[in-house]
Structure 1
Amino acid sequence: MQGRFLFLILLLLSIISCKTPTDIVYFQNASDLEKINSSNSFTPVFKVDDVVSILVSASDMDAARPFNLQGASISLGENGGGETSSGATEPTYLIDEDGNIEFPVLGKLKLAGLTRVQVKEIIKEKLKVYINDPIVNVRLKNFKITVIGEVGAPGSYTIPNERVTVIEALGMASDLSIMGKRTNVMVIRENDGVNTYHRLDLTSKDIFNSPVYYLAQNDVLYVEPNESKVRESKANRNVLGVVLGIIGVALSAVAFIVGL
């Protein structure tokens, strides 16, 4: 009798947790061969505590050497760009709380709030006083996003190319589980110490025009559980409570018998 009752409970939970296609299918309102002109033009900017690599090179490497941190051995690549030699330490700089770095010879430079291209051009202009045709390579080294919640592989991911979309981030995290709520995915973004919260509906094509479709440095992507997952969690807690209660009663009975 107890086994039959437990079977009925499990069957009822499985029926309740069944999802319809409208709950799980992405981009449902996109028509066949429809073209979507995205209004996004996201370009990441440097922030406080970012780690930036800046490599200076030129045809005269002796002239460029003072502008690279000590320990970096620089050579010209096949395309004329600067490269660190094998085993060398790439010159990196930490942006301080005022948004600045201390650059060799040039001194204090303001990087916070600027794009990679803007930083590159500013440094090139300053170097022209010392070097003919300087080559400057700038990269953000710690571009990282975090994906948590109802996904296959939650965790933090380092992005090498400084550009990643919400869809790509979910792909890296092995997609949403069947229990993930696709209509209310949250992006948490910090700017100047203030967190802003954006909600996305993955079942709609409108996601492509969202201001957070392209993720920024240190963004957190959270997939909340759907109603079925919440009910299942509550049922599991109730079952666990009953089991623990039975165990407690049994142990009390055993203790009483031993006492007698």
Structure 2
Amino acid sequence: MVLLVTSCATKHDIVYFQNAKNFETMVDTDTFTPKLKVNDIVSIYVSTYDVEASKPFNLIKSTGNTGQLIDYLIDIDGNIDFPVLGKIKLLGLTVEEAKELIKKKLSDGYLKDPIVNIRIQNFRISVLGAVNSPGTKVISGERVTLIEALALAGDLNIKGRRDNILVIRDFNGTKTYTRVDLTNKEVFNSPVYYLTQNDVVYVEPNNSAISGASGDSRIGTIISITSFILTTALIFVTRR
């Protein structure tokens, strides 16, 4: 009975955004865009009206009968080694800023009116803990919210704490730890509401999960001891 009572969760523990009022309007003024980090992998494609002129800037690797653009790794110094142009520092830039930087360099004596497309190839996040489908999730776009990430992980299970979600963020060796309360609408104003590539989201189990696990262990021990005592008593009675 004690285990049953301690394992119960109240509505207050599991309902999201509890202080959001009916017909309340919240305007999202966050213009967050992820910035490029060390060890990011990016694909870059350059095009122009003169196809032949742009070829040297689009390195192709052979994969069977087809070709594939070579991706670029942002090194420890924040640079990529780009064809013809050499080292280009992309660390800390948004994708749009990186496009403009490369476009400017190409326009300086190499190509006329170049178009540059850049895409982050390793945009993924990891969701761990008390969720229904933990693991690393690959993000197809370049912007994902904490709510969307938890949805990709199958949502929190009934024993996950909604009021203490931990987001671990690494930017070039510096880690930040931010906790978020999903039961409060202020989650939408959190600095980690929009996730960046390689963020880790951890959902802590609640007390009922912990007490339930320890309770199961205690019950198993009690059953084993009781079984031993009854077996011993039965042997003693049979011998008499």
Q: TM-score, normalised by structure 1?
A: 0.82
1:58 & 1:247 partners in 2: Cα distance? Answer: 81
Structure 1 residue runs without a partner (length 5+): 1-10, 73-85, 251-260
- Asked whether the equivalents of residues 60 and 69 of structure 2 are also in contact (C-alpha less than 8 Å), the reply is no
Letter in 2 for 1:135: I
Q: Post-superposition shift, 1:245?
A: 6.0
1:176 & 1:93 partners in 2: Cα distance? Answer: 36
Pairing 1:103–2:93 present: no
Residues 191 and 182 (structure 1 numbering): CA distance in 2 closer, same or farther, change over 3 Å? same
Partner of 1:112: 91
Q: Please state whether the residue corresponding to 1:48 is helix, strand or coil.
A: coil
1:171 & 1:18 partners in 2: Cα distance? Answer: 24
- Asked whether the equivalents of residues 120 and 138 of structure 1 are also in contact (C-alpha less than 8 Å), the reply is yes
Q: Post-superposition shift, 1:39?
A: 4.3
Aligned residue pairs, count: 230
Letter in 2 for 1:37: V
- Asked whether the equivalents of residues 81 and 88 of structure 2 are also in contact (C-alpha less than 8 Å), the reply is yes
- Asked whether the equivalents of residues 102 and 108 of structure 1 are also in contact (C-alpha less than 8 Å), the reply is yes
Residues 247 and 137 (structure 1 numbering): CA distance in 2 closer, same or farther, change over 3 Å? farther
Letter in 1 for 2:99: K
Pairing 1:190–2:170 present: yes
Q: Please state whether the residue corresponding to 1:29 is helix, strand or coil.
A: coil
1:151 & 1:145 partners in 2: Cα distance? Answer: 14
1:208 & 1:108 partners in 2: Cα distance? Answer: 38
Q: 1:240-255, aligned counterparts within 5 Å?
A: 240-242=220-222
Letter in 2 for 1:69: L
1:164 & 1:49 partners in 2: Cα distance? Answer: 19
- Asked whether the equivalents of residues 23 and 182 of structure 1 are also in contact (C-alpha less than 8 Å), the reply is yes
Q: Post-superposition shift, 1:38?
A: 3.1
Pairing 1:164–2:154 present: no
- Asked whether the equivalents of residues 46 and 116 of structure 1 are also in contact (C-alpha less than 8 Å), the reply is yes
1:80-128 deviation per Cα after TM superposition (whole angstroms, max 9, x unaligned): xxxxxx9431231011111101100001000111110011011111111
RMSD: 2.3
Q: 1:1-260, aligned counterparts within 5 Å?
A: 11-71=1-61, 87-128=66-107, 129-242=109-222
Q: Post-superposition shift, 1:28?
A: 0.7
Q: Post-superposition shift, 1:225?
A: 0.5
- Asked whether the equivalents of residues 146 and 220 of structure 1 are also in contact (C-alpha less than 8 Å), the reply is yes
Q: TM-score, normalised by structure 2?
A: 0.89
- Asked whether the equivalents of residues 168 and 199 of structure 2 are also in contact (C-alpha less than 8 Å), the reply is yes
Structure 2 residue runs without a partner (length 5+): 231-240
1:237 & 1:40 partners in 2: Cα distance? Answer: 47
Q: Post-superposition shift, 1:243?
A: 5.3
The percentage of counterpart residues that share the same residue type is 51
Q: Please state whether the residue corresponding to 1:190 is helix, strand or coil.
A: strand
